[in-house]
Amino acid sequence: MQITKPCVALVASPGMGHLIPIIELGKRLVTCHELDVTIFVVTSGDVSSLSQASCQNLLNIVLLPPVDISGLVDSATSIYTQLAIMMRLALPNLQAAISAMESHPVALIVDLFGTELLVLGGEFKMLKYIFITSNAWYLALNTYVPTLDKNELDKHVENQEPLWIPGCQPVLFDDTFGPILDRKNQMFVEFVRVGIEISMADGVLVNTWQDLEPTTLDALGDENKLKRAIKAPVYAVGPLVRPVDVNVRRDALDWLDMQPSQSVIYVSFGSGGTLSTKQTIELAWGLELSQQRFIWVLRPPIENNASANIFKTGIAFDDSSSYLPDGFLTRTHNLGLVISTWAPQTEILAHPSVGGFLSHCGWNSILESISNGLPIISWPLYAEQKMNAALLTGLGVAVRAQALPSNGVVTRGEIKSMVRRIMVDKEGYEIRSKVREFKYSALKASSEDGSSYNSISNLTKTFKDRWQCQNVED
Ligand code: UDP
């Protein structure tokens, strides 16, 4: 059969936070830029995530055989390390899958955890790209840290001084990225390796847009700032967010239909965010005391493991009444809705009755909130989420939850106050108007001739040129 257009292979690491933006990137390449796309999904066994990420039959999706890391990790192994190991183990499976394709892809695009898979670029003559499903500031950190010597890093890690990244907002110690704090941990080694491997790619795509992070994006392209560390050209291609699926009709949306405009705060800690029992109780009380309507995506509490639920996307969780304050569900019956399954987040955030988002600051959730013009209460839990929260504060689109220094708990009083600041107070109106500016700049960036649209066009031109050269050679 005659192959009529170039094919690009995308690889997603386990977890909805990676799969969703990879699928959206794939859809964009197919619909706006006339490429064929195959997405390879690395799984840890649970593939229910795929059914949650609508792909409208536009894409060829290939599930790689599940990787088994059980003998390589223990309960102390971080999620970051687990993902790095899973992607490493997936290499032979990806190699076999690409080798079996009728025509080899012209380019391979892997997400952040898959940088080791780019070795296949040489074998199959593919261009090599990395897709950062987070923001440009995180990319700056990841590529800058490997260039630092021990003494420079000590100032941040030991002396708790801000980390000054050339041309970027400094990373305060309190907001820092966990893996860089323990240099003996495998997590640090993996993080540095990824940073070095990024610089070997032909290009780096980031799920952000020029007007959201102009200074950082400029620094990444500036020889006197970060260009020497990252080397590869950076393409700001975002925001790539899952669009509303009009066929989704669930209880939450029916309930929202009956609520006044902008009256509901949506509370969710992403696909894996997990609170302790005490924190869950405080949150319940805080919501109740705020007297504001809410939808709360509730996961069972687990102690000392903020990402405990990360790979459990397809399941309905236990009966929540056992870990909520006595009588909470009855008392808040007319005020709120508790969801213990996977929530239709995109559809909820786009609903006119929703007026704010209490979020763990996963980057997808942030993009979805901004794209819907919703002010945010930032409550970061793990990974780069504290940096994301700091970025949001800098942009003026969020208020930030303050935990008690003694036990790390955000009290019911603080929760009540944050919800009211966003939903009732004048501050909330001001933040909402700021978020709306970014909502429109996001729309502009993704529209034809917008900055992100043009970035993807430039990228696809490179793919098409390469494809034509290869056809001539053949
Ligand atoms: N999500 C959802 N329903 C849920 C929980 C999460 O649709 O009940 C989606 C959410 O819309 C987002 C993604 O899962 O697109 C989570 O990604 P994010 O980067 O926000 O956080 P992570 O889960 O990676 O920490």
Q: Whole-prediction pTM value?
A: 0.96
Tell me how many helices (H) and strands (E) the chain has.
Answer: 19, 13
Q: For residue 7, how many C-alpha atoms fall within 13 Å in the half-sphere facing its CB?
A: 20
Pocket lining: 368 vs ligand 1, CB cutoff 6 Å:
yes
SS3 473: helix
Q: What is the CATH number of the domain that holds 296?
A: 3.40.50.2000
Q: What ligand 1 atom has the least distance to the C-alpha of 385?
A: 25
Encode pLDDT of 147-198 as tens digits: 999 999 999 999 999 999 999 999 999 999 999 999 999 999 999 999 999 9
Q: Is residue 51 part of a domain?
A: yes
The token pair that represents 62 in the structure block:
């290939």
Within this chain, do residues 117 and 214 fall inside the same structural domain, yes or no?
A: yes
Angle at 53 (CA atoms; ends 434, 395), nearest 5 degrees: 15
CB of 270 sitting under 6 A from ligand 1:
yes
Ligand 1 centroid to 20 CA: how many Å?
8
The catalytic position among 111, 175, 202, 211 is: 111
Q: Is the ipTM of this complex over 0.90?
A: yes
Whether residues 165 and 17 fall in one domain: yes
At 428, list the tokens: 């909330």
Q: Are 153 and 176 in contact (CB under 8 A)?
A: no
3-state class of 235 per DSSP?
strand
- Confidence at residue 50, expressed as pLDDT on a 0 to 100 scale: 66
User: Is 149 labeled as catalytic in the residue annotation?
Assistant: no
179 Cβ inside 6 Å of ligand 1: no
Q: What is the DSSP string of 268-311?
A: E-TTT----HHHHHHHHHHHHHHT-EEEEE-----TT-TTTTTT
Residue 426: Cβ within 10 Å count = 8
Instruction: Find the domain containing 189 and state its range.
Output: 7-240+445-473
Same domain, 164 and 56: yes
Q: Would you say the CB of residue 365 lies under 6 angstroms from ligand 1? A: yes
Q: Whose CA is nearest to atom 3 of ligand 1?
A: 343
Q: How many domains does the chain have?
A: 2
Lookup result for tokens 């994301």: 388
Q: Distance from the CA of 223 to the center of ligand 1, in angstroms?
A: 35
Ligand 1 neighbour 239 (Cβ under 6 A): no
pLDDT, tens only, 298-324: 999 988 888 777 766 656 666 677 889
Q: Is 111 a catalytic residue?
A: yes
Taking a C-beta distance cutoff of 8 angstroms, is the pair 63, 93 a contact? Answer: no
Indicate whether 149 and 257 sit together in one domain: no
Atom of ligand 1 at shortest distance to CA of 383? 25
Has residue 425 got a pLDDT over 90? Answer: yes
Q: Is residue 171 part of a domain?
A: yes
